[in-house]
Amino acid sequence: MGIAETSESLKARAETAPETLTDGFHLLIDALKVNDITTIYNVPGIPITDLGRYAQAQGMRVISFRHEQHAGYAASVAGFLTKKPGVCMTVSAPGFLNGLTAMANATTNCWPMILISGSSEREIVDLAQGDYEEMDQLAIARPFCKAAYRLNHVEDIGIAIARAIRSAVSGRPGGVYLDIPGAVLGQIMDAQEGSKSLVKVIDPAPRQSPASDAVARAIEVMKGAERPLIVLGKGAAYDQSDDLVRELVEKTGYPFLPMSMAKGLLPDVHPQCASAARSMVLRDSDVVIMVGARINWLLSHGKGKQWGEPGGKRFVQIDIDAEEMDSNVEIAAPLVGDVGSCAKALLDAMEGEAIAPPTDWLDAVHTKAEANMAKMANRLRNNNNPMDYHAALGVLKDAITERPDTILVNEGANTLDLARSIINVHKPRHRVDVGTWGVMGIGMGAAIAAAIETGKQVLAVEGDSAFGFCGMEVETICRYKLPVCVVVFNNNGIYRGDGENWGGGDDPSTTVFVPDARYDRMMEAFGGEGAWVTTPDELRQAVAAALDSGKPTLINAAIDPAAGKESGNIGNLNPQSVVAQ
C-alpha cells in the first residue's frame, strides 16, 4: 500500500490495524527528531495542544510559555547559541501574530528559527467565511522571514521540515515560517510510507570559502595598515569558529572591538581588547576588518564624526552574505564566506607577509584604554545612597568574573548601555541582549533558552521597564526549575523614575511606574526566591547566594530614580519638537 492509498481504505485500517498507520502529529515530531531537533518552545492551544503532548511522549523537551512572543524569543536565542534552528510552536491568528514579532527579530538578528503555527480550515480561510481564528498567516509571515511554507498534505511533512531547516541555517541565517492547517495534523498515512517520507538534511549550512583573489586583495589592504582594527560581530560568535577567530586576532596583533554579543569570543580582559578605547579606535583607525558585523546604526552607518575624517578608512569585510557589502560604505576588500573559512584563508595567506601593526598605534590604544578603565574602576566602587548604576554593576561585574561560565542576559536602556561596557564577558556566546533592533522584552525568553540549551547558570540583568514586557515568564522559570537569577534594576520608571506630568494633572508621568514596586514578590509567588536590596553589599550577597544555589531568584535592586539618562546612550535618536509643550 502506497501514498496513493484511498482515504476509505486508510479509514478502514484505522479501525482494524491502527498500528500500521501514522498521522500528521507523529510525522511532524519524527521529522524534527530525525534532524536532531529535540526541543520545542511552545504555547499550547487549538490546533497544536496534542502536538506538544505527543512531542513530550516521544521524548522531546517541550517548554511551554505564558506568551508566544517569549517562546519565540527563546527559540531564536536557541538558534543563536546552537547553530540549529530553534523551533517555536503557536496556535493560529493571535498566537501566530504574537510569535511573529520574535520571528521578525530572529530574521533581523540573522538567527535561525522556525515558527510553526497551526492555522484554521483552509477552504474557509480562503473564502473569508469567518472561521475560528481565521487568518491568511502565510501571506502575513512572508515579509518577516527568509522563507515561508505551507503544508497541505501529511505526505509533505518530511520535505517541508527539511526545507524549513535548510532555509533557516544556510547562507545568512534567519526566521522561517511553516504554516500547518490543523487538519493536516489529523491526516493519516501508512506508517512505513510515512517513515520513508522523512528527510534528514545533509550539511544544512555548507561552509563557504572566499575566492583566492578576494583573499589576496584583503591582504594587500592589511599590509598598508598603520592603525588597523578588527570589529567582531555576533555573526562571528554564531559561527562557532572560536579558535580561528582568536588566532586571526592574535596573529595579526590588531586591537579588536567586540560588538555586544561578540563579547567573550575573546575575553574582554584580553590585552588586545580595545573596548575601553572604543571612540578612539573607531575614529583613528585607517583599516577596519569587519568580522560578522554589519556597519548599521549600531556603528553610525560607518559615517559621521565617530568615524573620523571622511574617506580616511579602508574596510575589509567578512560576511556570509554578499549583499551586505557596500550597504553603507565602500568595502575595499569584501570576503564572502563563513567566518571560519575566511579567517583560515586570511591566516594561510598572511604567512610571510608583514601584517603586524606599528607599535606606536598599539601603545596609543593601550594607554587610552588603561586610562579609561582606571576612571571607571573608581566609579564602580562608589557607595552612593541610593545606589547608582555603576555601584550595582560593579558588583555584577565581580560576580561574573568569579563565575565566568555564567551566561549574561541584558536588556534595558541605561541598564543595557552601562552593563554592556562594565560587565566583562569571558567566554564565547555568554552574552545575549537586545540585538540589532534594540528590542525590549527579550530577557526572560533569552534566559530560559540559555538555561535550557546550555544547562548553565544564567544572570539576567534587566531594567524594570524591559522586565515588564516579559515578567510573567518568571512562572515558566519556576515551573521548569531553571538556574536563572534575574536582577531588576528598579529605578521606578523608564529611563528615570522622577518624571513629571507635563500637563500638571493627577495622572503620573508617562514614563514612571509604581515606586518601589516589589518585583521580587512575583518570583516568590511561584515558589522562587526573592530579595529586595538597596546597597551594593546586599546585592553582592544576594547574587552570590542565587548563583551558587542555582535556584530561580529575582533580586529587586533599588536604583536611584534620578540616576538614568533619557533613552540611555541613544537619546539622539529622539525627534525634537520645535513647538512648546
Residues of this chain that bind Mg ion (CB under 5 A):
463-465, 491
Residue 106, amino acid = A
- Applying CB under 6 A, the span of 74-82, 293-301, 359-367, 523-531 interacting with ligand ADP comes to 293-301
Whose Cβ is closer to Mg ion: residue 197's or residue 491's?
491
Instruction: Tell me the helices (H) and strands (E) count for the chain, helix number first.
Output: 23, 19
Q: Which of 231, 107, 233, 230 shows the shortest CA–CA distance to 172?
A: 107
Residue 335 binds which of ligand ADP, Mg ion, none (CB < 5-8 A, kind-dependent): none
Options 172, 217, 479, 540; binder of ligand ADP; rule CB under 6 A: 172
* Cα 493–Cα 496–Cα 499 angle in degrees, nearest 5: 85
Residue identified by cell 564602580 is: 380
What ranges in 438-565 are assigned the alpha helix state H? 443-454, 464-468, 474-479, 520-525, 536-549
H/E stretch holding 14 reads helix 7-16
User: Does residue 239 interact with ligand ADP by CB under 6 A?
Assistant: yes
Closest distance to ligand ADP from the beta carbon of 465 (Å): 22
Instruction: Map residues 399-438 to x or -, x wherever contact with ligand ADP holds by CB under 6 A.
Output: -------------------------------------x--
Q: How far is CA 23 from CA 17, 18, 89, 125, in A?
A: 14, 10, 18, 23
Closest approach of ligand ADP to the CB of residue 274, in Å: 15
Considering only 85-93, 233-241, 466-474, 571-579, which stretch makes contact with ligand ADP by CB under 6 A?
A: 233-241
The entry of Mg ion, ligand ADP, none that residue 436 binds, CB within 5 to 8 Å by partner kind: ligand ADP
Of 218 and 486, CB closest to ligand ADP: 218
> Mapped to the 3 state alphabet, what secondary structure does 255-287 carry?
CEEECHHHCCCCCCCCCCECHHHHHHHHHHCCE
Residue nearer to Mg ion on the CB measure, 238 or 495: 495
For position 259 contacting ligand ADP by CB under 6 A, the verdict is: yes
Nearer to Mg ion, 242 or 462 (CB): 462
428 contacts which partner out of ligand ADP, Mg ion, none, CB within 5 to 8 A by kind?
Answer: none
Residues 302, 491: Cα–Cα separation, whole Å: 34
CA-CA distance, 347 to 249, in Å (whole number)?
Answer: 10
Contact (CB, 8 A) for 467 and 519? yes
Residue 39 or 414: the one with the smaller Cβ distance to Mg ion is 414
Closest approach, Cβ 167 to ligand ADP, in A, equals 14
Among residues 260 and 491, whose Cβ is nearest to Mg ion?
A: 491
Site for ligand ADP in 338-367 (CB under 6 A): 338-339
Instruction: Return the one option of ligand ADP, Mg ion, none that residue 482 interacts with (CB less than 5 to 8 A, by type).
Output: none
In this chain, which of 162, 262, 346, 478 binds ligand ADP, going by CB under 6 A? Answer: 262
Residue 70 within binding range of ligand ADP, rule CB under 6 A: no
Amino acid type, 415? T
Terminal-residue alpha carbon distance, the chain? 76
Rounding to the nearest 10 degrees, give the CA dihedral for residues 434, 435, 436, 442. -50
Nearest distance, CB of residue 364 and ligand ADP, angstroms: 24
Residue 464 touches which of ligand ADP, Mg ion, none (Cβ within 5-8 Å per kind): Mg ion
Nearest distance from C-beta of residue 534 to Mg ion, angstroms: 16
Judged by beta carbon distances under 5 to 8 A according to partner kind, the member of Mg ion, ligand ADP, none in contact with residue 338 is: ligand ADP
Q: How many CA atoms lie within 13 A of 126 on its CB side?
A: 5
Is residue 321 part of the contact set for ligand ADP (CB under 6 A)? yes
Among 55, 221, 244, 261, binds ligand ADP (CB under 6 A): 261
Binding partner of residue 463 among Mg ion, ligand ADP, none, CB cut-off 5 to 8 Å per kind: Mg ion
Could you tell me which stretch among 227-235, 389-397, 442-450, 537-545 binds ligand ADP (CB under 6 A)? 227-235
* Strand 21-23 to 188-190 pairing: antiparallel
Q: Which of residues 110-139 bind ligand ADP (CB under 6 A)?
A: 110
Say how far apart CA 338 and CA 205 lie, in whole Å.
10
| Residue from 144, 238, 307, 495 in contact with ligand ADP (CB under 6 A) | 238
Letter string b/e over residues 307-343, b meaning 16 or more CB atoms within 10 A of that residue's CB: bbeeeebbbbbbbbeeebbeebbebbbbbbbbbbbbb
Taking residue 347's Cβ as centre, other Cβ atoms within 10 Å add up to 14
Residue from 49, 64, 195, 296 binding ligand ADP (CB under 6 A) = 296
Residue 167 binds what, of Mg ion, ligand ADP, none (CB under 5 to 8 Å, by partner type)? none
Interacting positions 436-455 with ligand ADP (CB under 6 A): 436
Choose among 162, 147, 191: nearest CA to 25.
Answer: 191
- CA 497, chain centre distance (Å): 28
**3-class DSSP state of 184:** helix
**Among 103, 165, 320, 450, which residue interacts with ligand ADP (rule: CB under 6 A)?**
320
**Shortest separation between residue 455's beta carbon and Mg ion, angstroms:** 31
Which of 305, 299, 266, 300 lies closest to 284, judged by CA? 305
| Amino acid found at 258 | P
Question: Applying CB under 6 A, does 191 fall inside the site for ligand ADP?
Answer: no
Footprint of ligand ADP (CB under 6 A): 109-110, 172-173, 233-235, 238-239, 259, 261-262, 292-294, 296, 298, 319-321, 324, 338-339, 436
